[in-house]
Structure 1
Amino acid sequence: MQASHRNRVGVFLGLMGACALGPAQSAYAQSSVTLYGVVDASLLYTNKTLNPANGQSAGHQYSFTDSGLSGSRFGMRGAEDLGGGMRAIFDLESGFSVANGGFDNSNGNLFGRQAWVGVNSRYGTVKAGLQFSPFFLAVYDFDPREMSYFGSGLITYLNNVYVTGMFNPNGISYTSPEIAGLQASALLALGGAAGDFQAGRQYSASLRYHLGSLTVDAALYSGNPGGSAASIPVPSVVEFNGRALGASYVFNNLTVKASYVQYKVAGSFNNRVYSGGASYHITPALNVDAGVWVTRDANESSNNSVLASTGLTYSLSKATLTYGQVGFVTNHGRMHTGLSVNNALNLPTGTTAGASVGIRHTF
């Protein structure tokens, strides 16, 4: 009720200003705030779990799992027309767990997924605050299962660098408009440590080319440890260098994707992930997808894994769908790739199979 009252007052003051200053100022009264979110819950089974003490299996599991397909979250986004084709914009987004109501699917803070303010116009978009990096967005766009929380490239991402690059505190970014099919993005995240500019400093960039049904994207990421982001509940300043190259092509109801992603941590590992897959709309309400992710450590070839999965979703309405997913992962050496972001992010050596069924509602 308070927000509604403020909106009415804002509209009234805007109209008064428009009358006083003339027609050119009328755009200032046009603003909006939208509440949105995802609520996702599932049941998960894996025939093995990881014993962190020895890297072997600790037995199978049946579990209620938060976010089997998409991370549960809620947020507020808004925009105000500033006139001349320019808008002020913001987004505040929080992750939570359906299982216990606590913080989850973010960096552990209240608005740990996104918290930024910016301006966009025909010259591009500038944002300041906690936001996704161009590198992560490129990896997301070319994942054949759209970064499902079960059996997707999100597993390999988190296995390697946790949430670094996903949730970038202290970030300033610019995204250009699309010109002749090309669009560029760049981000600099300041470390927030007085007297040490390099501590926690992160930067990322991407270049995308779009022509009809074809999209190609290349991206990079470089980050340093330390800085103020190192003290948040889930630190997002793993020191790594990332490179990504991906492509997608749409054939009517079929979308095919392939990508290469490198996660290099100096003195530790140099993992290279090769992926490919497709999604197909059987009917407007029924969709099937599948993908394969092969990870190899260039520093030690005995460390490798193969993850494969497929999923089926059925839309009960525009906002609610049910889903089923199955997959397996085979780990060799010191690789511990998992099957599910929640409850099975890391799995033992050998082959593990699993399945997930659930329901997701968006608003």
Structure 2
Amino acid sequence: MKNKVNGDFPATVRKVSMSKVSVLALLGLCTGAAHAQSSVTMYGSLDGGLRNVVNGTPAGGAALTMASNGVYDQNRWGFRGVEDLGGGLKAVFNLEAGFVLSQGTLDNTNNTLFQRRSTVGLEGPFGRVDLGRMFAMQHYLIKDFEPFDFKFLSITEASGVTNGNSSGRDPNAINYTGAFGPTVFRAEYALGGVAGSVDDGSTRAVGFNYRTHTVKFGFGYTHKSKQIVAGTGPFLGDNEYTAGGAYTLGPVTALGGWSLNLQNTATAVTGSTKNQYLWGGLRYQITPFIQVIGAYYDNKNITAGVHGRKDVSIVGVTYALSKKTLLYADFDYTKYRGGEITNITLNPSTHASQTGISFGMNHLF
């Protein structure tokens, strides 16, 4: 052949081949860039341990259980996704399910898969808006000053303060979060879904957090229109006022908060059911691996004119085996007074006091 280049291929063929390679390489780079703009992350928590409670049953004695729903942290798995839409705008979603570790089953009786969270939303310079089922605004508000950061949730009173419609969560919710420097603005509106009424069953909430490395504080207000007994009776006002803060000095952080919940009742004589929560605690990061937290929770309750009180003292210790795996233990004492002693819903054992101890292992992925 007369027009060989380097004794291999014709020059025209070589030029065409190199052009094709360049186009394919460019397409490959574009495809990679497009793929990098979207991501889905799977995550979860596996928590298994044992818990022993003295006076844990009506018959007395100790109740030893495998805390397969998670004493330290709740067992869950989920997906988080984000897509970069350009111009600083992102589409986001989150699906999260809970399970019973020892059984491998869902941790709810109505066979709902993503009962912990199912949301889709937009995030941008304006903040973030999520729609779906999610934690109530109160949950995010008090996270900055809840001593255990919602760990040992079945023992502390933190779940009561969140005031969600179901396990601290609100369905049919629209949640706004705007973080601008150290300030965070929050707002929630959850649809009631009651025919003929915009207000019945709905939730409205606003909150504010201020955050620095040393100081954190926040306050918020939530109004719900709900029934005292779900599915029965009129919808009545439920109002909650919350405030709290935290201060960090070296390895020690002091945290505390206050919350007042007033649930209107249909009986004019009693006026409302009142729950006042006070809590405080200390976190001490002894070493990079060992953390000790001590906290006290006080709940004063007035229901139908009957006064009751529940006090919880708890000390928890964690030892980090790695960034994802830790061992934990706690010792706690709960004291009931007045109407709280015989309130089967709040105190199934009906004993005036309980002493608990638990230990186990938690792994995050």
Q: Structure 1-normalised TM-score?
A: 0.80
Alignment of 1:125-204 (within 5 A): 125-149=128-152, 150-154=154-158, 156-157=160-161, 164=166, 166-179=168-181, 181-204=182-205
Q: CA deviation at 1:108?
A: 5.9
Determine the C-alpha separation between the residues in 1 that align with 2:190 and 2:332. Answer: 36
Determine the C-alpha separation between the residues in 1 that align with 2:213 and 2:289. Answer: 25
Q: How many residues align?
A: 323
1:253 to 243, 248, 251: 251
2:315 aligned residue? 310
1:82 aligned residue? 85
Q: CA deviation at 1:106?
A: 10
Q: CA deviation at 1:45?
A: 0.6
2:217 is the alignment partner of 1:216: yes
In the alignment, is the contact (CA less than 8 A) between 2:279 and 2:298 conserved in 1?
Answer: yes
2:286 is the alignment partner of 1:282: yes
Q: Secondary structure at the match of 2:138?
A: helix
Deviation by residue 1:68-95 (Cα, 9 ceiling, x = unmatched) = 1011000000101111111111000001
The 1:72–1:163 alpha-carbon spacing in structure 2 relative to 1, beyond 3 Å, is farther
1:49 aligned residue? 56
Q: CA deviation at 1:262?
A: 1.8
- Report the RMSD for the aligned CA atoms in angstroms: 3.0
Moved more, 130-139 or 80-89: 130-139
1:356 aligned residue? 358
Q: Secondary structure at the match of 1:194?
A: coil
Q: CA deviation at 1:210?
A: 2.4
In the alignment, is the contact (CA less than 8 A) between 1:86 and 1:121 conserved in 2?
Answer: yes
Q: CA deviation at 1:280?
A: 1.0
Moved more, 166-175 or 73-82: 166-175
- Structure 2: gaps spanning 5 or more residues: 1-25, 266-271
1:269 aligned residue? 273
The 1:220–1:337 alpha-carbon spacing in structure 2 relative to 1, beyond 3 Å, is farther
Q: Which amino acid aligns with 1:171?
A: A
Q: Which amino acid aligns with 2:245?
A: A
Deviation by residue 1:107-138 (Cα, 9 ceiling, x = unmatched) = 86210111001111111111111112221222
- Structure 1: gaps spanning 5 or more residues: 1-14, 21-25, 52-56, 232-236, 339-343
RCO comparison, higher one (Cα < 8 Å, 6+): 1
2:63 is the alignment partner of 1:61: yes
Q: Which amino acid aligns with 2:158?
A: L
Q: Which amino acid aligns with 2:315?
A: T
Determine the C-alpha separation between the residues in 2 that align with 1:147 and 1:336. Answer: 25
Q: Which amino acid aligns with 1:207?
A: F
The 1:63–1:19 alpha-carbon spacing in structure 2 relative to 1, beyond 3 Å, is closer
Deviation by residue 1:205-242 (Cα, 9 ceiling, x = unmatched) = 1111224411111012222236xxx68xxxxx996322
Which structure is higher in strand share? 2
In the alignment, is the contact (CA less than 8 A) between 1:155 and 1:345 conserved in 2?
Answer: no
Q: Secondary structure at the match of 1:146?
A: coil
Q: Secondary structure at the match of 2:206?
A: strand
The 1:155–1:200 alpha-carbon spacing in structure 2 relative to 1, beyond 3 Å, is closer
